[in-house]
Structure 1
């Protein structure tokens, strides 16, 4: 037993308030306070993850009030992995944002609130408390998207707000149905009492439908993805990298947690339509997301539609409902955060130095910015699933799990997703490495026409060391994490055995 779990959530929330008040005295205090809070949370998350993987799950009852009235925080292998991811990525994006912006204490206060909300979603053991943290995460994400200095950011945030509110409302409606049938909101109690009510009950099935569809919207499962492309493309580069890496990732985790901890695999075995809903959502997202990504001309919109496809793969791993596929879904969930967050940040580095934000503007990029182009290419190939990257390993486990379950059409779609992903990333790599740069882009007025790799500034900015460090670390992790999957899977097996039993 440990008292550390509540500090995971409280630390960023308290730091957010400190940043806000510190800004009244001095306007440049936000970044160092946020960074110190991020370092502390990463250390705390790593400590708790070590305890979970060595000694088993941790449960903490807030205020000492036991279920069903009390609020419980639960950290197992799955939630510990997500918490470490949230802490690590949020700290990495802070290094990027110091130069890239947005700046100001209100931004960093909102940033920390979002970190606290996402952490709360990951560790709560109460379905209503999860709704509270989903709302905290949603409202702060809307504000961060709107932090850009263009009207496009405001429009994107408004669209995100409207659609996201619908998703949260549907989730809450589903929780209400579950509460009516059971009288409890604790996940462990709900799991037992929903089984007593009966999985064939219309009330239980309706509760699942509303919760699943609400989280589909939050995760951006096709065709409920409409908020995502503009939110990612219209927000500042730092915000795009942050929310693309963590927001939908955490909500996808919430879907996995509710499906396995509350409704359990027995529900899906008894209600074929529920598993069919997950499979159809996965297949449509994989195919439609890829086809829409191919048709985009703006880099950030292309990456946004790519996320629709990639979360389809995670949904496929959940739909298969065996340990192999769930290992793949978890690995791909975590790996996608690193890869996609890195791609958005790399696109920001390139845009800062060259102004390039369209696909055609990447022509000859390897001559102008060889390091940035190399990092982007490594992350892109990892997303495609080139061995031995983490992108390959995650897809492989999901595909093997589908084969073990004899879901042959789903397995074929998962394998085909590699070619679909290659379709939109290959054209970028081809432009970067096999085309000459446009004459107007070869030099900045008043400078030599000779290319000056990774130093040419076309729109008044110069990428900082922190910006480069963030994308280089992401690329390195995308390559090296693939080798860590086998020991990670061994650590995760006890949690998955419990969730899938």
Structure 2
């Protein structure tokens, strides 16, 4: 048993167990959660890097929990291969990096960091699990952690958004579980590898009633994941969750929650069901492509008309994940690699954009498109980083947004699915439309004083005004930001730490650097894609 194999269960167990530590220490100490979480996530990133290096050198690593390999197809496994290793690396580096924001920008409190670690553990488990039932278990852990993160915000809007996510997320997980039940009835197996190499190919070859049951299983699983990934019209939880979650939480859930769910869907589609089943099932490819394409157009169109910046980015995520789903439907190796690159790139870009939104809200007091006027003059570093990330989101080379879209378009053309190529072009134009609104406001519209939306000296986040706060001019916004009657004064630059700026600039640079890594991604993923398509 290799060291990397031994690390797999620890990657899942450690963050879940450590989630109890901040609460336990909170009985004696205040605010120990950040330190515990920082040590845990940095350790997870180091361990994940070692596992990924081992996978690159020697191939995939499999850990059979409890050594229980029989009966075949039912034993619980954790699997690290090129696909899952990439996603776990994204999870751990994002979870560790975003702590630079929450250290100063909040939320704080031991219970918050307990939920943070629970969410990270669920995301890693969802990425590494090798059987479809435990995928449901980790989906539920992720759902509980995400609910806790969203509800940690102040005010009733956060509570309502969290409840909406909990209800719709439970519906999605329930639909997925029904699909797993049908899958087990048809095949007698839960292990993803056994399903993909033995059970499902045998049913596809034989046909009959089991094949009908298998198709029903896929339908339930796909709809369940479509809700988790926020595909139109099942997307309604996502804009509220992203908008009303605390600024320190939104980057985490935007970069990881739907991203890992989209990974899980790809894993089930290509490793469990397989390309042959997807290609031979009548109208399945057309349905998957249509769902993705409609989500691309609907998400981009809704993003164009938004005024709240976080809500705009939320609808943008609906569009970007639609592109990934459409790429899955193309059923070509190039399109699949493009979808994986786009998943990684989108996670990086959205983490950066929501970090930027939080930094700007704290330092400049701006949360709507119009309030970004004059940002480049007054907060040049935040504006510059935001501009780079918006350009990457549009897909202008060299950037992570371009390389993913390019490979998806090439794969779609190889499959003669011209509709996907057309949708990529249309979504790029719509992305340009809403990105250009922000760029125009930041760089070409001078800032003007605006009237304060709340009476002076009032705390609108449910708390009391700060001690020493000048009641004649200052108040707290819904993001916990000091504000004046003039937007020039409403922000508090001193509230933004050096770590927050380093994090933001680092993410912006990463979004550009990833644009040069197309060949590396192809080389890294070749063992996985060759197994899927050969």
Q: Is the 8 A contact 1:286 1:417 kept in 2?
A: yes
1:33 is matched with 36
2:203 is matched with 197
| Shift, 1:349, TM fit | 0.3
1:476 is matched with 509
Q: Is the 8 A contact 2:73 2:195 kept in 1?
A: no
1:458 is matched with 491
- Give the Cα–Cα distance (whole angstroms) in 1 for the partners of residues 348 and 306 of structure 2: 22
- Give the Cα–Cα distance (whole angstroms) in 2 for the partners of residues 184 and 6 of structure 1: 22
- Give the Cα–Cα distance (whole angstroms) in 2 for the partners of residues 490 and 458 of structure 1: 46
Please give the secondary structure, in 1, of the residue aligned with 2:248.
Answer: helix
Q: Is the 8 A contact 2:289 2:327 kept in 1?
A: no
1:131 is matched with 136
- Give the Cα–Cα distance (whole angstroms) in 1 for the partners of residues 523 and 305 of structure 2: 40
1:59 is matched with 62
2:484 is matched with none
* Cα RMSD (Å): 1.9
- Give the Cα–Cα distance (whole angstroms) in 1 for the partners of residues 282 and 524 of structure 2: 31
2:365 aligned with 1:340, yes or no?
Answer: no
Please give the secondary structure, in 1, of the residue aligned with 2:62.
Answer: strand
**Range with bigger deviation, 72-81 or 410-419:** 410-419
- Give the Cα–Cα distance (whole angstroms) in 2 for the partners of residues 12 and 300 of structure 1: 28
Q: Is the 8 A contact 2:105 2:495 kept in 1?
A: no
**Range with bigger deviation, 486-495 or 132-141:** 486-495
2:391 aligned with 1:381, yes or no?
Answer: yes
- Give the Cα–Cα distance (whole angstroms) in 1 for the partners of residues 119 and 533 of structure 2: 30
Q: TM-score, normalised by structure 2?
A: 0.90
What pairs up with 1:105-144 in 2 under 5 angstroms?
105-144=110-149
Q: 1:446 to 1:23 in 2, by over 3 A?
A: closer
1:350 is matched with 360
- Give the Cα–Cα distance (whole angstroms) in 2 for the partners of residues 485 and 105 of structure 1: 40
Q: Is the 8 A contact 2:364 2:488 kept in 1?
A: no
Q: Is the 8 A contact 1:322 1:401 kept in 2?
A: yes
- Give the Cα–Cα distance (whole angstroms) in 2 for the partners of residues 236 and 345 of structure 1: 11
What pairs up with 1:235-314 in 2 under 5 angstroms?
235-314=245-324
Question: Number of aligned pairs?
Answer: 494
- Give the Cα–Cα distance (whole angstroms) in 1 for the partners of residues 46 and 490 of structure 2: 37
What are structure 2's unaligned runs of at least 5 residues? 452-469, 475-486
- Give the Cα–Cα distance (whole angstroms) in 1 for the partners of residues 272 and 425 of structure 2: 30
Q: Is the 8 A contact 2:55 2:82 kept in 1?
A: yes
| Shift, 1:457, TM fit | 5.3
1:43 is matched with 46
| Shift, 1:14, TM fit | 1.9
Match of 1:5 among 4, 8, 12: 8
Please give the secondary structure, in 2, of the residue aligned with 1:306.
Answer: helix
For residues 387-418 of structure 1, the C-alpha deviation after alignment (integer angstroms, 9 at most, x for no partner) is 10111111001001101111112111112221
What are structure 1's unaligned runs of at least 5 residues? 448-453
Divergent runs of 4+, >6 A: 444-447
2:472 aligned with 1:467, yes or no?
Answer: no
- Give the Cα–Cα distance (whole angstroms) in 2 for the partners of residues 411 and 126 of structure 1: 34
Q: TM-score, normalised by structure 1?
A: 0.96
- Give the Cα–Cα distance (whole angstroms) in 2 for the partners of residues 354 and 158 of structure 1: 30
2:230 aligned with 1:227, yes or no?
Answer: no
1:413 is matched with 423
What pairs up with 1:150-229 in 2 under 5 angstroms?
150-191=155-196, 192-198=198-204, 201-229=211-239
- Give the Cα–Cα distance (whole angstroms) in 2 for the partners of residues 429 and 39 of structure 1: 35
What pairs up with 1:361-440 in 2 under 5 angstroms?
361-440=371-450
For residues 33-73 of structure 1, the C-alpha deviation after alignment (integer angstroms, 9 at most, x for no partner) is 10010110000100000111111111110000014332011
Q: 1:455 to 1:477 in 2, by over 3 A?
A: farther
Please give the secondary structure, in 2, of the residue aligned with 1:272.
Answer: coil
Please give the secondary structure, in 1, of the residue aligned with 2:119.
Answer: helix
For residues 400-457 of structure 1, the C-alpha deviation after alignment (integer angstroms, 9 at most, x for no partner) is 110111111211111222111101101110111011101349xx9999xxxxxx9965
| Shift, 1:141, TM fit | 0.2
1:23 is matched with 26
Q: Is the 8 A contact 1:352 1:461 kept in 2?
A: no
Q: 1:143 to 1:446 in 2, by over 3 A?
A: closer
- Give the Cα–Cα distance (whole angstroms) in 2 for the partners of residues 36 and 360 of structure 1: 40
2:338 aligned with 1:324, yes or no?
Answer: no
2:495 aligned with 1:496, yes or no?
Answer: no
Q: Is the 8 A contact 2:229 2:321 kept in 1?
A: yes
